A and B are shown apart, each in its own frame.
Chain A
Amino acid sequence: MVPKALVAASAKPIILSLLLSGENYGYRILQRVRLVSGGTLEWSEAMLYPVLHRLEADGFIRSAWKLSGEGRMRKYYFLTKAGEKELQREKSHWLSVHKALTSLWATAEKID
């Protein structure tokens, strides 16, 4: 299981990345996260909505109530232009972390 701090930190890029492929609503987002992480990322359900609202307040995503295929009203979220830019920034941050760690571990393995 991924620890809480990392879950919180990665919530934003993950949500933005998910919405990059199209609009979606809360429950589906949770399911998708669980799916792509192979169950290692366990998001508490109470955490998701506040984060969504926070991202909306910051202008990275927008929301709209829509009738879904099953005839239920659902609140859909989609990415804004600012959100796409924010995602680019997040991506470069995470990639640099990733790069640093990979190269460190590569050296560590050689020494081992």
Chain B
Amino acid sequence: MIFPTTPSQTVGPFLAIGLPWADGPYAVPEGTPGAIRLAISVRDGAGILVPDALIETWHPDPDGRFPDLHGYGGPSEMPGFRGFARSGFEEGDGHYEIVTVKPGSVPLPDDRMQAPHIDVSVFARGMLNRCVTRIYFADETDANASDPVLGSVPAARRETLLAQPTDDGYRFDIRLQGPGETVFFAI
């Protein structure tokens, strides 16, 4: 490191002026076969829904490939797959939504396989830096049981990382603080 990094600051209460995009929630084009809806809620330490957050997600396609640079097993060949989505509102109610496809598995650098997961950034007023978490899928019992990252999380807290199946996708509830506090990661 030659130059130190620029410090993080909060997105503040008015992020909706600049950050939400019309197509933000769509990591895949609308109408993509097999698309799922991720219903995400954010609650604070008092259990109150957080209406002014921004949620961002990033994950590979069902083959475990990213729409990214060369060199990581090849780029995604799924038409229109962005892999990235963003949800935030000028007047929200604490519920966020992402439309995507369920990710495939990708390895750790030592080739052990990880369970399917989605990286998540949470930004909000009152948060001086983003909080990073991961969404795993409650119905991937076997893959989750052998996942090295989940295995590094205290057993009693693993459930906070599991999205629960719904009629059209999954539900993932984020608790920033307090009982059932979501596991957040340092990267």
Partners in one complex: no
Partner-A contacts on B (CB < 8 A): none
